Chain A
């Protein structure tokens, strides 16, 4: 078990992305959703990457998924596990796997969203074993 926890960097939101970070801070993982072609996407953005419709909104994800791939970043202090998680909604996102021994992480493992602190005290979505 990692003894020291990573504190996450804050990248300033861009116009339209504030709601994503407000959601994370309130414990909700939000996905982009296109109301025109009715598809979910990640990361959320102002234009649907399938059809370029700007009739888009953010909708909460269930917060559960499966590890598609990962890697343990050994030179980092603290060591962290970067990963892509495929959410049950069918879209994948880059994230970190936390609250477990990095050596125990496996492709195909079921995970659930947890929220970890950023440098300014707000929160960011990470995933822990389900």
Chain B
């Protein structure tokens, strides 16, 4: 069953906070839910489907949070693939709506790693010892930064990608962030500033890494009949894809590409659109290398040419061919809960509605893509792609 065109995103909200020491995790979920419901022009009691990720909704993944918010539901889905969860949720919501399981779906994300003092990138995090890979990996100190750094190191070795090329991703994000009053890092930076920032994990510098922030976001997805009664611009979901990539028992190790190669193809096939028609792309930018790899995987350039593709401002709105992350992305704006998928969808919705900041709004933005990966490109991860059309 194709879900193409069977669901619309009618509400989107990003929490303005970047540090919330005085708010609980559940409070943040409730605040973003309210923001998205208000944005759609609906009420809480209209919600009959709830999508959240088990990883940022402790307490049997969503049971406690649906209870906290007083949601009465016909459908609940707590799929957790890390930062890509919310991209998958858009597809799952479209499927649930098309199957008649619910009519109006709420998706929430929230997190407060900044207030909790989580050293997200540099501190290896011990998981549950029943996680099968943990005993074979954790002792060696896999942290988020060095896992992505190993991808970058191999990409450079194999394709000649340079630190300066990676830096262009951050430079483009910073050009956009200067117009976002909520961005954590609104200062425009240069390639030189990125490559001269302190080395964190070779070859990634501090400015190749995203921010650590508190906050969250939420989306409302509904069926065409309801979307057309609301007073919001119509953002139609026309293609979704998800895929997992791992190493098949150490026999398939290739850290130069991501699951986006497969999730992107599914989304493009379903949408029936071409890359050159995409006016705007939200690409999960946990690190600069993440963007370079995913752009290749999604097919915006040839394999190995991502470094050249992002150079010379090609991702800057109004300058380059593929404006990306016009909110400043995870690199400069926001990375709530260490999970970047939600904000990727939100900024794509803003662009399609014409509600991005005027300085970064893409003209005639009628087709946009949001993509991200959850887990680690250095070990195992799930890619999620969503293609949306302004109707």
* A binding-site residues for B, Cβ under 8 Å: 6, 8-14, 17, 20-21, 32, 39-43, 45, 48-50, 68-76, 80, 82-84, 86, 90-96, 107-108, 118, 124
Contacts and interface: CB of A to CB of B under 8 A. Distances in A.
B140 A76 contact: no
A69 B153 contact: yes
Contacts of A82: 140-142, 146, 150
A73 B141 contact: yes
B249 A14 contact: no
B139 A11 contact: yes
A83 B150 contact: yes
Interface string B137-155: 1111111011001110110
Contacts of B130: 14
A10 B139 contact: yes
Interface stretch (B47-55, B250-258, B265-273, B343-351): B250-258
Contacts of A43: 132-133, 136-137, 249-250
Given A8-B139, A32-B249, A70-B153, A14 B122 contact: no
A13 B133 CA distance: 11
Contact of A71 (B126, B138, B149, B251): B149
B24 interface: no
A124 B139 CA distance: 9
Closest 4 CB pairs of A and B: A41-B249, A71-B149, A91-B250, A42-B250
Contacts of B141: 6, 73, 76, 80, 82, 96
B255 A69 contact: yes
B2 interface: no
Interface stretch (B77-85, B95-103, B166-174, B197-205): B197-205
B210 to A, nearest CB: 16
B140 A42 contact: no
B157 interface: yes
A74 B253 contact: no
B134 A92 contact: no
B63 interface: no
B135 interface: yes
A50 to B, nearest CB: 7
Contacts of A40: 251
Interface in B183-234: 198-204
Interface in B245-284: 247-251, 253, 255
Contacts of A49: 248-249
A8 B139 CA distance: 6
5 contacts: A14-B132, A40-B251, A41-B248, A71-B153, A91-B250
B384 to A, nearest CB: 23
Given A43-B136, A90-B251, 18 more contacts: A8-B140, A9-B126, A11-B126, A21-B135, A41-B249, A72-B201, A74-B200, A75-B122, A82-B146, A84-B150, A84-B255, A91-B249, A92-B250, A92-B253, A107-B153, A108-B157, A118-B139, A124-B139
